[in-house]
Amino acid sequence: MKHSGVLALSAGLWLAALAAGAALASDWPVYGGDAGGRHYSPADDINTGNVAELEVAWTFRSGDSAQYGADMANTSTQATPILLPEAAGASLVYCTPFNRVIALDPGNGTQRWSFDPQINRGGDRPFRCRGVAYAEDTQSPANAHCRHRLYLSTHDRHLWALDARNGQPCSGFGNGGRVALYGASGHAPGDVSNSSAPVVAGGVVITGSTVIDFTRAHTPRGVVQALDAHDGSARWTFDPLVGHPDSGSANVWAPLSVDTEHALVFLPTSSPSPDYYGVERPGDNRYANSIVALDLNTGELRWHFQHVRHDLWDYDTPAQPILFNWQRNGDSIPALVQLTKQGLVFILNRLTGESLWEITEQPIPPSQVPGEHAALTQPKPIAPPPLLDSFLMPHDAWGLTPVDRADCRRKLANLHNLGLFTPISETPTLMYPGSLGGPNWGGGALLDERGVLLVNVNNVAFSGRLVPLGEQPAAGNGPPSAGKQFRVVMAGTPYAAELGSLQSFLGLPCNPPPWGKLIAVDLYAGRILWETALGSVHEMGPVTAPFHIEWGTPNLGGGIATAGGLFFIAATMDRQFRAFDVNTGATLWRYTLPVDATATPMTYRYRGRQYVVINAGGHHMFNRGSGDYLYAFGLPP
């Protein structure tokens, strides 16, 4: 960890931050709805009684499809807009996969301004942008340029500060409104990029990074950076793998959370490199695969909780920590809930990192790879239960016909499978959940006061194996894509890794549906309240079926809950945008979008009308088409 000398926090900035958080609670001012990522809105104009009447209020197209053409195939549209306060222009603002920032009239979707950072599009890293962050800079005079600011972390590793009212770069911030975050390291373009929105609090802008962590043993460090929100100067840094020279990554690519009251920022850290081979990084690899709490002002470590020791499965911490107050026996404990790819739900005291449910250490089998010392145990909360059952036995094989079921049964019988945390080896090994999760970056939504978490999960078994160098590949190089085995090189190790979803010759998953689920978890009682399939497979076959087949689909993106008793989510591979009843899981409304919407929606009230907005542009991994749509829904005026 490295600290700058500028640690003093302006009281004005502090108060402004607090005021901003309070005033904007109902208007979706930040990526996750609030600084604690609860994905919850108190708006209830749209509710279970009238959601069936929901209709398109307006649509907007960013123009990316026309401007970038073929490059759109390498994008995933993931942005959640935010609504700026009146003083900042009251625009609805979001970013496109190429980091263009667009401000719209919230009432009709008319564009007010846009900003194009002209990113370096070198490398083959997919383009994505989950959002921007807003803050009022009290060091700038009222009504002056960049008093109200937007912060944008870009694909090519720049942090931009823009005037929220017109999109102009802030001249006093860095070099003409931008700071190079990772300029001189010598890594290729795309090795390190950004996907999630930065967070702004206490006068600092904090940003993580996205690092390709399976290509090499020694990938770039996953350093988290904090910059002065006013001028862009460095304030502090945190390297999650400090003291571990023979690894890299452990970066923070998922959204961060901030507790301004206790001056804490929470980092969901990812796997160390390389993902599937840990011989050169012995030990637990602290602080990878952890929730790390840092002092917001200094970057000093307050606590950490490592949910995977010595990761061999690419079980990044994928989701934004959700901050809430844990109610038990009349006590209210500042807490956070962390979803993990492996389908576990950890609830921690956010001031100490102590688990609020007993942690049981799960023994795991030893690795068969020479020199690999898998951790003897991994932590698991005694409750709530895992969101997925990670065993898949041959007798569990699923198929549409006896023939493809037999094919899956045979494949499963030949896989190593000792449940969650079975170490990968040269023999194909079940990875269930795989690196897709379980939960992923869409995170969850927490119902106000009730301690009920709604979370969408993937439920598709993967398999993987280590391929010794020199052995001919059975799969193509490259990133994961729907239904295909892919190969990652892990240069600097004796192996490559071959991974992919476990499918029959018909291309159907070998595990029984649903292949995507929506689950309601009672965090206080530690139990699952209900779960339901999320998504229809009617468009996933060679021919589109004329009716929905609700077997669930893989899903990316999250959902939001409202005081209207609704949970809105798209995320699926069926172009649907749905509203569920939070109490029963019943689908109350759905709408067919032009393309899949792998983003988290948001909602706001504007001039007396509640809107629900979803960004629909497809996902390169789903390979089902792209677009550049923003849809707003509302009740009939």
Q: Which of 44, 295, 389, 581 binds another protein (CB under 8 A)?
A: 389
Kindly state the smallest distance separating residue 528's Cβ from another protein, in Å.
6
Contact status: 129 vs another protein (CB under 8 A): no
Q: How far apart are CA 446 and CA 451, in angstroms?
A: 7
For residue 348, what are the β-bridge partners?
336, 355
| Span of 141-149, 334-342, 421-429, 471-479 interacting with another protein by CB under 8 A | 421-429
Q: Which of 300, 427, 474, 586 binds another protein (CB under 8 A)?
A: 427
Q: Which of 172, 385, 492, 594 binds another protein (CB under 8 A)?
A: 385
Contact status: 512 vs another protein (CB under 8 A): no
Let me know how many helices (H) and strands (E) the chain has, helices first: 3, 42
Q: Which of 7, 15, 180, 382 binds another protein (CB under 8 A)?
A: 382
Kindly state the smallest distance separating residue 505's Cβ from another protein, in Å.
20
Q: Which of 526, 529, 530, 549 binds another protein (CB under 8 A)?
A: 526
Q: Do strands 462-468 and 429-431 pair parallel, antiparallel, or not at all (unpaired)?
A: antiparallel
The single residue of 314, 407, 574, 628 carrying the catalytic annotation is: 314
Which lies closer to another protein via its Cβ, residue 213 or residue 407?
A: 407
Kindly state the smallest distance separating residue 300's Cβ from another protein, in Å.
19
Nearest one of 569, 459, 595 to 515, comparing CA atoms: 459
Which lies closer to another protein via its Cβ, residue 265 or residue 364?
A: 364
For residue 614, what are the β-bridge partners?
631
| Span of 267-275, 300-308, 384-392, 533-541 interacting with another protein by CB under 8 A | 384-392
Kindly state the smallest distance separating residue 362's Cβ from another protein, in Å.
5
| Span of 241-249, 276-284, 524-532, 578-586 interacting with another protein by CB under 8 A | 524-532
Q: How far apart are the first and last CA of the chain?
A: 54
Q: Which of 282, 361, 371, 477 binds another protein (CB under 8 A)?
A: 361
Q: How far apart are CA 146 and CA 189, in angstroms?
A: 30
Contact status: 360 vs another protein (CB under 8 A): yes
Contact status: 447 vs another protein (CB under 8 A): no
Contact status: 413 vs another protein (CB under 8 A): yes
| Span of 70-78, 273-281, 363-371, 628-636 interacting with another protein by CB under 8 A | 363-371
| Span of 55-63, 233-241, 391-399, 433-441 interacting with another protein by CB under 8 A | 391-399
CB 107 within 8 A of CB 605: no
Which lies closer to another protein via its Cβ, residue 355 or residue 481?
A: 355
- Active-site annotation holds for 314: yes
Contact status: 362 vs another protein (CB under 8 A): yes
Helix H or strand E segment including 592 = strand 587-592
CB 100 within 8 A of CB 116: yes
**H helix runs in 431-498, sequence order:** none
Contact status: 363 vs another protein (CB under 8 A): yes
Q: Which two tokens stand for residue 566?
A: 């609704």
Kindly state the smallest distance separating residue 127's Cβ from another protein, in Å.
39
Which lies closer to another protein via its Cβ, residue 329 or residue 472?
A: 329
Contact status: 386 vs another protein (CB under 8 A): yes
Q: Please work out, in degrees rounded to the nearest 5, the angle formed at the alpha carbon of residue 19 by the alpha carbons of 87 and 566.
A: 85
Question: Within 13 Å, how many C-alpha atoms sit on residue 446's CB side?
Answer: 26
CB 112 within 8 A of CB 118: no
Q: How far apart are CA 91 and CA 436, in angstroms?
A: 34
Contact status: 528 vs another protein (CB under 8 A): yes
| Span of 153-161, 183-191, 374-382, 582-590 interacting with another protein by CB under 8 A | 374-382
Contact status: 541 vs another protein (CB under 8 A): no
Give SS3 for 180: strand
Contact status: 532 vs another protein (CB under 8 A): no
Nearest one of 175, 216, 212, 230 to 8, comparing CA atoms: 230
Q: How far apart are CA 635 and CA 609, in angstroms?
A: 8
Which lies closer to another protein via its Cβ, residue 262 or residue 373?
A: 373
Contact status: 556 vs another protein (CB under 8 A): no
Q: Which residue has the tokens 């975050």?
A: 181
Distant-in-sequence contacts of 533-538, Cβ < 8 A, 24+ apart:
534/456, 534/569, 534/571, 534/572, 534/578, 535/571, 535/572, 535/573, 535/574, 535/576, 536/572, 536/574, 536/576, 537/513, 537/573, 537/574, 538/574
Q: Which of 384, 444, 500, 564 binds another protein (CB under 8 A)?
A: 384
Contact status: 561 vs another protein (CB under 8 A): no
Question: Within 13 Å, how many C-alpha atoms sit on residue 234's CB side?
Answer: 14
Which lies closer to another protein via its Cβ, residue 284 or residue 389?
A: 389
Site for another protein in 320-359 (CB under 8 A): 358
Task: Give the total residue count for the chain.
Answer: 637
Q: How far apart are CA 593 and CA 81, in angstroms?
A: 17
Which lies closer to another protein via its Cβ, residue 2 or residue 527?
A: 527
Which lies closer to another protein via its Cβ, residue 391 or residue 505?
A: 391
For residue 616, what are the β-bridge partners?
629
Phi, psi of 20, deg, nearest 5: -60, -45
Contact status: 365 vs another protein (CB under 8 A): yes
Exposure b/e, 18-49, CB count within 10 A at least 16 = b: eebbeebbbbbbbbbbbbbbbbbbebebbbbe
Contact status: 366 vs another protein (CB under 8 A): yes
Q: Which of 417, 463, 485, 501 binds another protein (CB under 8 A)?
A: 417
DSSP 221: B
Site for another protein in 109-128 (CB under 8 A): none
| Span of 89-97, 186-194, 424-432, 574-582 interacting with another protein by CB under 8 A | 424-432
Which lies closer to another protein via its Cβ, residue 411 or residue 619?
A: 411
Question: Contact residues for another protein (CB under 8 A)?
Answer: 358, 360-366, 368, 376, 380-386, 389, 391, 393-396, 412-418, 422, 425, 427, 429-430, 526-528
Catalytic residue numbers? 314
